[in-house]
Amino acid sequence: MIAEFTVPQFVSVITAERSPGVARLGRGGVDLHRSGSSVDDMTASVPVPPPTVELTPAPTLRNFPDRDRYELWSGDELVGVEGYERRDEHTLVLLHTVVTEKYGRAGFARLLVASVLDELSAQGTKIVPVCTYVQSFLKRFPQYQPVVAEE
């Protein structure tokens, strides 16, 4: 069974059933603490720019829980991957953000992360941002701070 719904502005989300044969992504990490920031600084809304290249068909976000990753697709072409590890029922550790070379430096990593965070926020799921790209994204777009799990 595949569930599909629209994520604001950019992509639709598909939750796919388990698919065999794909290795899990590895881990790495840096502590994310924002000392000296006020609550207002952390929740101010900064518009997330769309990618600089328009794709047809529009990118679609798919969750593959058996692979521990979200994938961003345009038609039958993989655009990028957000690897995660489930910490518990309501928390994901975001490990890696990877965009294929063809789509690099065009805003698709930003689209991937924003789409994943929008999806997780809608589900009430919190994140632990181990991926340095996600950490940078959270600093640039503070409106996503509420999705970060308290440690």
pLDDT digits (tens, 9 = 90+) for 16-58: 443 333 322 333 333 333 333 444 555 679 999 999 999 999 9
**Is a pLDDT exceeding 80 seen at residue 74?**
yes
pTM of the model: 0.75
Domains contained in the chain, CATH given: 3-16+46-147 (3.40.630.30)
Q: Which long-range contacts (CB under 8 A, 24 or more apart) does 113-116 make?
A: 113/82, 113/137, 114/10, 114/48, 114/141, 114/144, 115/7, 115/10, 115/11, 115/13, 115/59, 115/61, 115/70, 115/72, 116/61, 116/70, 116/82
**What residue type is assigned to position 33 of the chain?**
H
pLDDT digits (tens, 9 = 90+) for 79-137: 999 999 999 999 999 999 999 999 999 999 999 999 999 999 999 999 999 999 999 99
